[in-house]
Amino acid sequence: MSAPEKATQAEIAARVKAIESIMIEKGLMTTEAVDRLAEIYENEVGPQLGAKVVAKAWTDPDFKKRLLENASTACAELGIGGLQGEDMVAVEDTDEVHHVIVCTLCSCYPWPVLGLPPNWYKMPQYRASLVRAPRRVLREEFGYDVPDSVEIRVWDSSSELRYWVLPQRPAGTDGLSEDELAALVTRDSMIGVGPTKAAA
């Protein structure tokens, strides 16, 4: 991440903290309410739900088929859906193709499976550069080196279609349970800008 991006993130964090303080001071929210909202997005909504879907797809071929045919319907089978998840599309990484998502117009994002979008996802630099030079952006901005032999496909999310990535199952995970597999799935692997965790 470049110095200007780090500075921008620091400015955003400072503004959020200031707004939070004013809302609490004015009696519009309590500290407990702020903590509860953070807890919801950390534990009840977000990447851990997407990880659960990915682990299910890794272990259940029939579910994986349904997921790739209609991600929103398949996620609903697991009780996952709602706002920003009405029209989700899962794209599967293979040995030959690696997928990465972006929203070039704004920051459309599949909230039910990935939670809140990271700040960098919303930045114009990411949105423009990824489309033009995805391999370079993945390598230089995220430290994620996709081999030249693997094609990179960039998917542009919109308010009509919100893409996310079904990453490849890591090697050496044959004996793991769904919960153990879910622990290997990262938000970045479902965006396509990073790997899953390796099996211990």
- For 94-104, what is each residue's pLDDT tens digit? 999 999 999 99
Share of the chain residues as helix, strand and coil, in percent rounded to the nearest 5: 50, 10, 40
Q: Annotated catalytic residue: which of 2, 72, 75, 108?
A: 108
What average pLDDT does range 170-187 have in this prediction?
96
User: Is 199 within the bounds of a domain?
Assistant: no
The 10 Å Cβ neighbour count of residue 135 is: 18
Q: Are residues 89 and 183 in the same domain?
A: yes
The domain of 7 spans 1-44
Number of domains comprising the chain? 2
Q: Annotated catalytic residue: which of 21, 72, 75, 107?
A: 107
What average pLDDT does range 76-87 have in this prediction?
82
Q: Is 75 a residue of the active site?
A: no
Beta strands (DSSP E) in 81-194 are: 88-92, 97-102, 151-156, 162-166
> How confident is residue 7, by pLDDT bands cut at 50, 70 and 90?
low
What is d(CA 109, CA 125) in angstroms, rounded to the nearest whole number? 17
Looking up residue 92, the CATH number of its domain turns out to be 3.90.330.10
Percentage, residues of the chain above pLDDT 70: 90
Q: Annotated catalytic residue: which of 21, 106, 159, 177?
A: 106
Q: Are residues 36 and 115 in the same domain?
A: no
Please identify which residue in the block is written with the tokens 């996310």.
164
**pLDDT for position 41:** 61
**pLDDT for position 6:** 55
> How confident is residue 149, by pLDDT bands cut at 50, 70 and 90?
very high
Q: Are residues 6 and 73 in the same domain?
A: no
pLDDT beyond 80 at 2: no
- For 19-61, what is each residue's pLDDT tens digit? 878 888 888 888 787 777 666 665 566 799 999 999 999 999 9
> How confident is residue 81, by pLDDT bands cut at 50, 70 and 90?
confident
User: Is 87 within the bounds of a domain?
Assistant: yes
Cβ–Cβ under 8 Å, residues 166 and 154: no
Q: Annotated catalytic residue: which of 72, 75, 103, 157?
A: 103
Cβ–Cβ under 8 Å, residues 149 and 142: no
- Backbone φ and ψ for 151, nearest 5 degrees, come out as -70, 140
What average pLDDT does range 179-192 have in this prediction?
96
Which residues lie across from 165 on neighbouring strands? 91
Cβ–Cβ under 8 Å, residues 150 and 96: yes
What is d(CA 135, CA 40) in angstroms, rounded to the nearest whole number? 34
User: Is 163 within the bounds of a domain?
Assistant: yes
Q: Are residues 30 and 55 in the same domain?
A: no
Q: Is 103 a residue of the active site?
A: yes
Percentage, residues of the chain above pLDDT 90: 62
**pLDDT for position 44:** 61
Which among 97, 92, 93, 82 has a CA at the least distance from the CA of 49? 82
Three-state SS for 51?
A: helix
